[in-house]
Amino acid sequence: MDVLIIGGGIIGLSTAVELAKTQRQVGIVEGGFPSTATPAAAGMLAPGAEQIPAGALLDLCQASLQRYPTWIQDLEERTGKTTGYWPCGILVPVTSQAMGYHRGIWLNRGELDRQQPGLGAQFQGGWWYPDNGQVDNRLLTQVLRHVAQTLGVHFFSQETVVRIEPVGDRITQVVTHQASHQAAHYILTTGAWTQKLLSLPVHPRKGQMLALQAPHAPALNQVVFASAYLVPRRDGRLVVGATNEDVGFQGGITAGGLHSLLERAIHTYPPLQDWPILETWWGYRPVTPDECPILGPSPWENLTLATGHYRNGILLAPITAELIGNYLNGQPWPSELDFCRWNRFASSLELL
């Protein structure tokens, strides 16, 4: 193999597709961890609505958002399948215009009602982000896997990686419970599980989620993002998220988590209180101390890092794949992305 990617979530899959397009022999080793961030996400493409402060991370998110239409078009044309990509805009209703540091278009209450009838009476107005949107992250994952397979990417599935073995400043192999794998280059895309292999400060941040079935499709005209976010799929399913809990890998739907989610969702959009619950689930966001991802070179010359995308992994997938692809093609790591390098947190790293 030319490249072995450790981790089969959205970042690993997107990077595999990008690299396989240039004739590289690519493998993905994936442990089959439950509750990874990729299937748990809501798929919002929301640099504005997430209120990311102005600066380097917002620039990266905006750059990735701009790549989405062509990135999706290519994936859908290669497979003939939909990803549910929908640049539907995101509406952020607020109780006071002074709240937050929004850069959207201000809608007063009358305009808000025209944009989305039925919102809670507490809202004074809302911020409208017409260029934000959503993708169905589960469909997108299927499409990416399909494209990867078509391009000859080899999946080593249900193989839990035990360790990454170095000799000097090079990685020589990746050892799993079943086998060991060698490649010229390795890419770490292990998200919330990164600390099982490498001493990087990436921690799990649990999110509980649920889905409702609206009596009409779609449930809302666009994504609505208030104290809960409401993401309407085109088929009438409404994805509602999310809790944000610092509880390690403590899984499960809790009474308190579900209660808070439902309370916030009903407060935001009261009509949904009558809709049936279809599903509940949870996942672990990979968070870093500064909430920015860890991208780029590592202390080992043939190990590249792409992890810690926290709340924005679905959004950042296209730009992450492109950056890692450029870097493996011999381009220097861009200095404006130094804010993503691992050494902002530590002076050395240990393989565990």
- Site residues for ligand GLY per CB under 6 A: 42, 44, 207, 241-242, 285, 311
Nearest approach in angstroms of CB 43 to ligand GLY is 9
161-167 and 170-176 beta bridge pairing: antiparallel
Q: For 142-170, b where at least 16 C-beta lie within 10 A, e where not — what string?
A: ebbbbbbeebebbbbeebebbebeeeeee
Query: 181 or 206: whose CB is closer to ligand GLY?
Result: 206
Number of other CB atoms surrounding residue 216 within 10 Å: 7
Nearest approach in angstroms of CB 145 to ligand GLY is 22
Query: 44 or 224: whose CB is closer to ligand GLY?
Result: 44
Pull the structure tokens for residue 345: 């947190």
Nearest approach in angstroms of CB 245 to ligand GLY is 11
Give the three-state DSSP class for 332: coil
Residue closest to ligand GLY (Cβ):
311
Dihedral, CA of residue 291, residue 297, residue 303 and residue 307, to nearest 10:
10
**Torsion sign over Cα 344, 346, 351, 352:** negative
Query: 52 or 174: whose CB is closer to ligand GLY?
Result: 52
Query: 19 or 37: whose CB is closer to ligand GLY?
Result: 37
Tokens 């509406």 locate to 91
Query: 1 or 247: whose CB is closer to ligand GLY?
Result: 247
H or E stretch covering 126: strand 125-129
Query: 44 or 144: whose CB is closer to ligand GLY?
Result: 44
Nearest approach in angstroms of CB 170 to ligand GLY is 35
- CA 255 to CA 274: how far, in whole Å? 19
Backbone angles phi, psi at 282, to 5 degrees: -145, 165
Nearest approach in angstroms of CB 287 to ligand GLY is 9
Nearest approach in angstroms of CB 171 to ligand GLY is 31
